């Protein structure tokens, strides 16, 4: 609710103004103003009171005076280095390795087989089959990480496929 007279304005709180460059209509700063009067004009700039805006414009926003709105700038594309991509690929392969092992042999089952908890059910043969499976997945993971390390371009990374077979 906007005050109807100057006696009800709280002058201890600032009013926020977007400082808009008159050459490109972009917000380049915000000005806090205390008191009842309007802030002093700044040559080459327009000040727009944004105090009551629910979402304040950001630096770089473009102001359209015809409709009194701000348009946010398009986000810039972030360039990801090949080393960062390699790290993401390696993390993904490692996570996939753990998930494949746990899907096939949940942790409790691994413990039972390793310790032959139930000698009738948890046989040495079952334990060896499990170990062979886990070692195969670990070897595949090591192979995939080597392939990732050997990539010299992003296109090389994008062309990799991991079949886990």
How confident is the model over 133-154, as pLDDT tens digits?
A: 999 999 999 999 999 999 999 9
**CA 3 – CA 59 distance, rounded (Å):** 28
Cβ(20)–Cβ(26) below 8 Å: yes
How confident is the model over 5-47, as pLDDT tens digits?
A: 555 566 678 889 999 999 999 999 999 888 788 888 899 999 9
For the chain, the structural domain boundaries read 6-71, 82-159
88: left (phi over 0), alpha (psi -120 to 50) or beta: alpha
């Amino acid at each position: 609710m906007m005050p109807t007279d100057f006696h009800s304005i709280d002058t201890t709180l600032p009013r926020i103004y977007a400082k808009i460059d008159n050459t490109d209509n972009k917000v380049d700063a915000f000005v806090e103003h205390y008191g009842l009067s309007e802030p002093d004009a700044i040559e080459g700039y327009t000040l727009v009171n944004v105090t009551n805006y629910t979402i304040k414009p950001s630096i770089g926003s473009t102001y359209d005076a015809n409709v009194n709105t701000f348009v946010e700038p398009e986000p810039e594309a972030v360039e990801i280095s090949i080393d960062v991509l390699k790290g993401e690929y390696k993390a993904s392969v490692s996570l996939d390795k753990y998930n494949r092992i746990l899907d096939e042999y949940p942790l409790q089952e691994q413990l039972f087989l390793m310790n032959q908890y139930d000698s009738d059910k948890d046989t040495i043969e079952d334990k060896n089959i499990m170990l062979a499976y886990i070692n195969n997945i670990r070897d595949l993971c090591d192979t995939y990480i080597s392939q990732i390390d050997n990539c010299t371009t992003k296109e090389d990374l994008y062309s990799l496929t991991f079949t886990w077979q």
